[in-house]
Amino acid sequence: MNQWILEKTGFDPADAAADGNRFLCANGYMGLRGAVEEAGPAQFSAITLAGVYDQYQDRWREPVNAPGALHFRLSFNGQALALGRTEALSHRQRLDYRHGVFQRETDFGPVTISSRRFVSMADCHLLADQYELRFRADGEMTLLAGISTAIWDINGPHLFDFDYQAGNALLVRAATGEKRIAVAAAQCMTPDFEAEETLLQREQGIFRAYKRRVKKGDTLTVSAFAAICTALDGGDPADSARAHCLQAQARGFDACLQAHRDAWERIWDRCEITLEGDEAAALALHASQYHLNCIAPRHADSLSIPARGLSGQTYKGAIFWDSEIFFFPMFVHTQPEIARSLLRYRIKTLPGALKKAAEYGYRGAFYAWESQEGGTEGCTNFNVVDVFTHRPVRTYFRDKQIHISADIAYALRSYYDITGDRSLLMAGGARVILECARFYLSRANAHLDSDGVDFADVIGPDEYHERVKNNAFTNRMILYCLESALRMREIFADQPGWFDRLLRELDYEKDWALIRDLCPRIREPRVRDGVVEQFDGYFDLEDCTLDDVRARLCDPREYWGGDHGVAGTTQIIKQADVIALMALFPDRFSPEEVAANWRYYEPRTEHGSSLSACMYALAACRIGRPDAAWPLFMKTAQIDVLGGGKQWAGEIYIGGTHPASNGGAWMIAALGFAGLRMQNGYPTLHPHLPPQITRLRFPITAGGKRLLVEVTPDGGEIRELG
């Protein structure tokens, strides 16, 4: 088994959506789904743009898909040859995780189509494709190559007023409907053959048609170069797209590919985990790191990563808590500049969080559960459709998942604790923490007849139980946020003037005293036989098995949570909740406490979210159970290799890649199996290798130094890299 190559043979139309995800090519600016060149909307072909959103009519706002800038269609002797519409003798596709190159080979009998393409890591606007035709019969071929505007949208259309231009590069210009953001796609071709060439402009695209007679044994190749630009980049996107396209054509396919490969090598030099002992695990770990690295916003300094990455418009292209809890750890330990971008996004979108809190009648910063441009809330009050009545179901993710602000404060403080760099705090991060703490002051429920303070009417990570009181995860994260606000004075002890000015600017003197008073009053969860109660009254719910709950389903696509969901009145939970708390605060709980809670909650967890298994695996490692962590690691790491995770929530399609699992795989390997921890600013190791692994080796950045971590069954060491 090659530890860097994912390969699949055969074609099943039912796998089109999953294949588009697992064979994704991306570079942080855009994501090109893993569909073949002739595919259209029916095969879920798309180029999804980062940070460009649009709302059509009253449908959900979502990211914009660009025109299909690498579109090819072949006819031979009057017959169209297209995978899924024409029977193929064989089909093979593969993705090289090392260098982000997608290849396909489809044998239609008289003609075999082969191609290799990439979304450039060296030029974020560039896509390129080398398209080869091998003929086993004489005849006449017509090849259409150009830009297709038959765009797959979930809640679209989003592009309007298409304008087509020809010349040395084909060009399509359009604008989004809501905010009139200009989007441009350019394409130019370098064929290695002579042909009769005709320009075709149609309702859904602009193409060059190459027509010629061919003989058995002929091989024809076309190198295609395409570029996507938008008005958000600055300048005229049409001029920019054309320039990127023509510059790439002048350099040639091989030179552009080499620059792309070199860029990927630099990325792997910073973060590659080498796993020895199990080839399937090594491939899965490379896949996870590839999928998270290829969507990192290297082209921007204040952009984050959507919950489904750049694999499509699912989840509205929104930024969730995944960014701080699941993506952040790999980047802060290996590529801190990307971690800074994720956090700068939150600093930049603070005004949106202040506005949302005010809309609900609170002070401070209540961050969007599904954050879109400017920090606007993309989450609606109706996120699920009932599979029986086909009516929208009221959900409470938008207004009750208040832990989101504390998650952001957790990441900001973690960035400082891990890197020792407080510049991000000075550049707005400290204000974010203070405003999040202020929100919790405003949101707390005090009582006249007791000293205790509750946080009622909330949803924790387990979304199956809505509007609960004193969720253990939420309360502990809130406490950490409040403590972090107080710790800012200690962090800036050598600059008291700067910090005092910040407090005065925020009119924070009264809030400071209230925070100090609130921290010891936050309700602690009930503990029974060492088990932390997930929320008030959880232990009083029906205690049944997962099989019991599954047997109650009348439709496999039913939503399990909410008022009428099959899990809502039981102790069955969607994902790690108390265990997530223990994974994020390893020094707060003893191994015995973690073990008791792992034994209790794991059998009651559906793992209905791709965010769940990694938390249970981390907890298993920390109680000396790498044997229990191993299958959870494989479940996490293989999710975008085998295809997995839920595809539907009610009638809502939620498919796509799983960046949180990708980050979770790194967390299990580095923080779980290797036991990497930062203690007083220094990395330490507490290994828990499962027997399947004979060696783990990976680089990290800590204290401004590049270090190499190596762990074997005999122990571990950290040494400085030259």
At residue 528, the 3 state secondary structure works out as strand
Q: How far apart are CA 669 and CA 273, in angstroms?
A: 8
Q: Which two tokens stand for residue 357?
A: 């809190």
Q: Which of 463, 466, 602, 606 is catalytic?
A: 463
377 DSSP 8-state letter: B
Concerning whether 463 is annotated as a catalytic residue, the answer is yes
Cβ atoms within 10 A of the Cβ of 530, count?
A: 14
Distances in Å between the Cα of 721 and the Cα atoms of 267, 286, 525, 678 are 16, 22, 45, 18
In degrees and rounded to multiples of 5, residue 200 shows phi and psi of -120, 120
**Per-residue buried b or exposed e for 456-466, using 16+ beta carbons within 10 Å of the residue's own CB:** bebbbbbbbbb
Is 16:283 a contact under the CB 8 Å cutoff? no
User: Which residues, 6 or more positions from 673, have their beta carbon under 8 angstroms from its beta carbon?
Assistant: 621, 626, 629, 633, 687, 688, 689, 690, 693, 696, 711
Residue 474: which of 485, 461, 483, 463 has the closest Cα?
461
Give the total residue count for the chain: 722
Residue 260 CB-density burial (10 A; 0-12 exposed, 13-18 middle, 19+ buried): buried
CB-count exposure of residue 575 (10 Å: 0-12, 13-18, 19+)? buried
Residue 223 host element (H or E): strand 219-230
Cα 378 off chain centre by: 16
362 dihedral zone (left: phi>0; alpha: psi -120 to 50; beta): beta
Backbone angles phi, psi at 187, to 5 degrees: -150, 140
Q: Which residues contact 156 (CB under 8 A, 6 or more apart)?
A: 54, 56, 59, 62, 65
For tokens 């998270």, the residue is 292
Peptide bond into 690 cis (omega under 30): no
Answer for the pair 272, 99: CB distance below 8 angstroms, yes or no.
no
DSSP output for 175-210: EETTT--EEEEEEEEEESS--EEEEEEETTEEEEEE
- Cα separation, 15 vs 329, whole angstroms: 32
Sign of CA dihedral 262, 263, 264, 269: positive
Which residues form the catalytic set? 463
